[in-house]
Amino acid sequence: MRDGRDVLSSVVSSQIALHAPHGGVVPELAARAHLEAISTVVDAALRGLGGGWDDVDAVAVTRGPGLVGCLLVGVLYAQAAAQARALPLVGVSHLAGHVYSAWLADEALEPPFVALLVSGGHTESVLLREHGNAERLASTRDDAAGEAFDKVARLLGLGYPGGPAIQRAAAGGDASRFRLPRTHVPGGFSFSGLKTAVRYTIRDLGASALDGEGVPRDPEVVSALAASFQRSAVSQLVDGLEEAVERTDAGAVAVVGGVAANEALRAAVRQRFSGLSVVVPPLDLCTDNAAMIGAAGWQRLRLRGPDAPGFDADPSLAEFA
C-alpha cells in the first residue's frame, strides 16, 4: 500500500474449500492453514514491489478480533518481520479494516460517514467521525447477520458459505410465500428470532416434505424460504442503517464486510439512501483482505505512530478506527 489508498499488491488465500465440508470454520484447521500459507502469501504480495522487503517502510497486521490461533500466526509473523527489518509496526483492528474498505474504495469519501458493518461475526453501525475517531452506534444482540445466513443455508441444505448460497437460491424464489418476522430492535440488531422462525417453518412443513437430513425436498420451497429470509434480513439491516443516519444526520453511508457482497442488500441500500452519498466496496474489498488492513494501518500509523514491540493478539478487540 502506498499513501493509504494506492494498492500496489493484494493477495488472498481463501479457506472456503477447507471449511466447506464442515459447514463452518474449524478453528484448529484455520490456524494450521494460516501457518502453512502466510510465508507464501507474503512473498507473493512482495512481488508487487520492485525491491521486495527493501521497499517496505512499515508493517500493519490484524491483531483482533477473530480466532486467536489465526491472529497469533499473523501477529507473530509481522512482529518477527518488523524486528528483522527494523521497521515500524502497527496492530490494526479487523473491524477498522472493514470500515476503511469503503474509504479505500471511493477516493471522494472522507469522514464523517456512517458504516453498516455486516460480516460472519459482526453486525454493527459505526460513525467514523474523523480519521482515528469512531463510535459504535448499534450492534447485534445475538447472532451476526453472516452467521444467520450460514445457519439458514445449513437448514436449507445449501452449503457453506451461506451468504452466496442464500443469494443464489433466493434469485428464483417467491419471497411472499412464507411470512417471516422483520425484526426491529431499537438501537440494535437481532437475527436469532428470524433464524428460529425459518427452523419452525421447515418443521411445520411436515415429515413427508423433508428428506432424511430434515431439509425441504421441494426446490421451490427452498427458494421461497431463502428469498423470504433474505428479504427479512436485508430489511432489518437497512432499517438499522436508516436509524443510524437519522441519529447522526450523516450525509454519506457505506456498507462493508462480507455480507455487503449480497446483491439484495447493495440494491436496497442504494434505493433507500438515494439522496446521500452511498459507498459499497467491490466484492474483493467486502470479503476479508489485507488491503483494507493496510488502509486502516496507514491512518493509524500516521496519527498514533508505531505500536510498542511485543503486543498481543486480542480476539475480542472492539475498535473501529
Phi, psi dihedral angles at 134 (to 5 degrees): -130, 150
Domain assignment present for 36: no
Q: Could you report the per-residue pLDDT of 203-226, keeping only the tens digit for each?
A: 999 999 999 999 999 999 999 999
How much is the pLDDT for 143?
92
Instruction: Quote the cell numbers at residue 242.
Output: 436508516
- Phi first, then psi, for residue 238 (nearest 5°) are -70, -40
Query: Is 12 within a domain?
Result: no
Under 8 Å CB-to-CB from 161, ≥6 apart: which residues? 16, 20, 120, 149, 150, 153, 258
Domain CATH code at residue 242: 3.30.420.40
pLDDT at 120 over 90: no
80 domain residue, yes or no: no
SS3 annotation, 2-31: ECCCECCCCCCCCCHHHHHHHCCCCHHHHH
Q: Is residue 251 part of a domain?
A: yes
Q: Is the pLDDT assigned to residue 15 strictly greater than 90?
A: no
Give the range among 9-23, 56-70, 177-191, 193-207 with minimum mean pLDDT. Answer: 9-23
Exposure class string for 94-107: b at 16+ Cβ within 10 A, else e = bbbbbbbbbbbbbe
Does the structure show a pLDDT above 90 at 251? yes
Domain contains 241? yes
Write the DSSP symbol of residue 181. Answer: -
Question: How would residue 115 be classed by pLDDT, with cut points 50, 70 and 90?
Answer: very high
Going by pLDDT thresholds of 50, 70 and 90, the confidence category of residue 24 is: confident
Q: How far apart are the first and last CA of the chain?
A: 18
If phi over 0 gives left and psi between -120 and 50 gives alpha, with beta otherwise, what is residue 83? Answer: alpha
- Cell 493478539 belongs to 313
Domain of residue 169 covers: 110-281
In a domain, 115, yes or no: yes
- Residue pLDDT, tens place only, 150-203: 999 999 999 889 999 999 999 989 999 999 998 888 889 999 999 999 999 999
The per-residue pLDDT for 131 is 97
Residue length of the chain: 321
pLDDT band at 22 (very low <50, low <70, confident <90, very high): confident
Question: So what's the pLDDT on residue 18?
Answer: 87
- Domain count within the chain: 1
Query: Would the pLDDT of 35 be above 90?
Result: yes
Tell me, yes or no, whether 130 lies in a domain. yes
Q: Where does the pLDDT of residue 294 fall: very low under 50, low under 70, confident under 90, or very high at 90 and above?
A: very high
Calculate the average pLDDT of the chain.
95
Q: What is the CA radius of gyration of the chain?
A: 20
- Specify the pTM: 0.93
Alpha carbons 225 and 24: distance in angstroms, whole number: 21
Residue 31 lies inside a defined structural domain of this protein:
no
Q: Phi then psi for 6, rounded to 5 degrees?
A: -95, 105
